[in-house]
């Protein structure tokens, strides 16, 4: 066997084992999270600190959701995720963290009572959406925007059932929404019906009411 062929075979073997690791993550996620329906997935910046307005609001939202019987799912890390988990945890609810292995290791926050660890981002993304009856999107960076855009794309293309996608923080998201309306919509890249996927709500109590309207507990 040539050296080149040997390397190719090694790569093929590694790919085969990777497939089994991916399958194992899916199985573990499905078996673990199917018990916690209905759930709401909450996203936001890792960089907000206790005492920040966004941290306080995320904590309030997590608490109200738990009191209304919803499980709260976050990425399990610090910042807005920690705050939402903290609120759910303090209310005695199901506080779920879907942690991810990163080069700079993300430490799970201490307010989850159910924690799953993922190696693959795409498996973790499936878990966020599969058991969610709503997405709440707090101010955040690229990761938060990635989850936002993926959710509205899946709903727009009817790959998942429609559910509320709620943006929290008018000052933060207003420019983004204005750009969608003034540029993307006017150029015909989306339809006016597509805009209805998104809601902009700032008050935690109003957010939970909007979700409850669409869900039978």
pTM, rounded to two decimals:
0.89
Q: What whole-number distance in Å separates Cα of residue 168 and Cα of residue 54? A: 9
pLDDT tens for the chain, residues 1 to 217: 444 444 344 445 577 788 889 999 999 999 999 999 999 999 999 999 999 999 999 999 999 999 999 999 999 999 999 999 999 999 999 999 999 876 655 678 999 999 999 999 999 999 999 999 999 999 999 999 999 999 999 999 999 999 999 999 999 999 999 999 999 999 999 999 999 999 999 999 999 999 998 875 5
* Topology annotation, domain 3-212: Rossmann fold (3.40.50)
Rg (C-alpha) for the chain, rounded Å, is 19
| Beta carbons of 135 and 141 less than 8 angstroms apart | no
Q: What number of other Cβ atoms are within 10 A of residue 47's Cβ?
A: 13
Both tokens assigned to 117: 């660890």
pLDDT for residue 161:
93
Q: What ranges in the chain are assigned the alpha helix state H? A: 3-33, 53-67, 80-90, 121-130, 142-156, 170-179, 192-195, 204-212
What length does the chain have? 217
């Amino acid at each position: 066997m040539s050296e080149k062929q040997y390397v190719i075979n090694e790569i093929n073997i590694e790919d085969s084992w990777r497939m089994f690791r991916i399958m194992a993550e899916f199985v573990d996620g499905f078996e673990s999270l199917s018990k916690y329906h209905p759930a709401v997935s909450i996203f936001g910046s890792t960089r907000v600190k206790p005492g920040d307005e966004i941290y306080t609001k995320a904590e309030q939202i997590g608490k109200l959701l738990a009191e209304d019987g919803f499980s709260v799912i976050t990425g399990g890390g610090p910042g807005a995720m920690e705050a939402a988990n903290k609120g759910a945890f303090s209310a005695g609810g199901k506080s779920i963290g879907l942690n991810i292995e990163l080069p700079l290791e993300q430490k799970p926050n201490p307010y989850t009572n159910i924690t799953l660890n993922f190696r693959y981002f795409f498996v973790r993304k499936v878990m966020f959406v599969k058991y969610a009856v709503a997405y709440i999107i707090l101010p955040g960076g690229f990761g938060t925007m990635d989850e936002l855009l993926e959710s509205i794309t899946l709903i727009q293309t009817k790959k998942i059932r429609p559910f509320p996608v709620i943006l929290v923080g008018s000052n933060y998201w207003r420019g983004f929404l204005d750009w969608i309306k003034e540029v993307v919509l006017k150029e015909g890249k989306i339809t006016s019906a597509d805009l209805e996927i998104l809601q902009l709500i700032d008050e935690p109590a109003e957010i939970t009411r909007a979700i409850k309207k669409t869900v039978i507990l």
